[in-house]
Amino acid sequence: DIVMTQSPSSLAVSAGETVTINCKSSQSLLYSGNQKNYLAWYQQKPGQSPKLLIYWASTRQSGVPDRFIGSGSGTDFTLTISSVQAEDLAIYYCQQYYDTPYTFGAGTKLELK
Amino acid sequence: QVQLKESGPGLVQPSQTLSLTCTVAGFSLTSYNVHWVRQPPGKGLEWMGVIWNTGGTRYNSALKSRLSISKDTSKSQVFLKMNSLQTEDTATYYCARETTGIPGYNWFAYWGQGTLVTVSS
């Protein structure tokens, strides 16, 4: 199974700050056939279902604000949230869909400082 | 409008079988894959398995011996059955759909609201 390791596990921020969440996979998620990275990011607020933010490591889902930026390739990926807003306080998960079983990182909890 | 909604018993006794239904609307199960993902209280997400638009299935090997996913396309319903439940199976169970039915595009764009299943005597 591909193991997804996220860091940090929690992050305390003030509104307006830029934050970076890291996700590392135990094997490359870059498929040579199409040069795409099989990685997605989700946001989950308390009591809600996860919401898709990013797929192909850097493609924003329709309707997701452009302050959410996904980057990285191979085994190392980053979700950057610029100018954090109160509504962004949530848990963020990375997920690989390169191979089954599809696996998630343990999550990064974004909290208010 | 794409919708998924899970239903089933909120409480299951240890060693018993869990049966959940995911009722979908706004799309056909012959065109899209539907996955099951679960989340223990206060913990992370675990992919359980998928039923492909073709009707084939793939399961998480950690659950494979206990898990079965099927569907009734005419009723727009996907079914999950898992036997030999233990307390560690207590979780919110979600069904989720991919954006497209294209192979390899296996991220989850649409999620149900989830249903909490508690395993307890």
Summarize pLDDT for A16-52 with one digit per residue, the tens: 999 999 999 999 999 999 999 999 999 999 999 999 9
Whole-number Cα distances in Å, A71 to A2, A68, A75, B6, B105? 19, 10, 11, 33, 18
Interface-testing mutation among B61, B67, B102, B107, with chain A (most A C-beta atoms within 10 A)? B107
Q: Hey, which residues does B78 pair with through a beta bridge? A: B22, B71
Instruction: Inform me whether the pLDDT recorded for A111 exceeds 90.
Output: yes
Question: pLDDT (tens digit, 9 = 90+) per residue, A54-87?
Answer: 999 999 999 999 999 999 999 999 999 999 999 9
Gap between the Cα atoms of B68 and B49, Å rounded = 9
pLDDT tens, position by position, for chain B (121 residues)? 999 999 999 999 999 999 999 999 999 999 999 999 999 999 999 999 999 999 999 999 999 899 999 999 999 999 999 999 999 999 999 999 998 888 888 999 999 999 999 999 9
**Closest residue, chain A, to B98 (C-alpha):** A52
CB contacts of B45 in chain A (<8 Å) are 42, 50, 93, 95, 104, 107
Backbone angles phi, psi at A43, to 5 degrees: -120, 135
Rg of chain A (C-alpha set): 13
Gap between the Cα atoms of A64 and A73, Å rounded = 21
Q: What is the pLDDT of residue A92?
A: 98
Closest residue to B45, CB basis, from A52, A55, A93? A93
Smallest CA–CA distance, residue B118 to chain A, in Å, is: 16
Residues 6+ apart with CB under 8 A from A70: A39, A41, A53, A54, A57, A58, A59, A60, A77, A78, A79, A80
Residues 6+ apart with CB under 8 A from B120: B11, B13, B14, B87, B90
What is the token pair recorded at A29?
């998620």
Closest residue to B44, CB basis, from A40, A49, A106? A106
Q: What is the pLDDT of residue A113?
A: 86
**DSSP-based three-state secondary structure for B88:** helix
Look at residues B17, B45, B21, B49 and name the one whose alpha carbon lies nearest to residue B33. B49
Residue B29 near residue B11, CB atoms below 8 Å: no
What is the token pair recorded at A58?
């850097």
CB contacts of A61 in chain B (<8 Å) are 109
Smallest CA–CA distance, residue B76 to chain A, in Å, is: 21
Alpha helices, DSSP H, located in B26-98:
none
Interface-testing mutation among A49, A52, A54, A64, with chain B (most B C-beta atoms within 10 A)? A49
Q: How many residues does this entry show for chain A?
A: 113
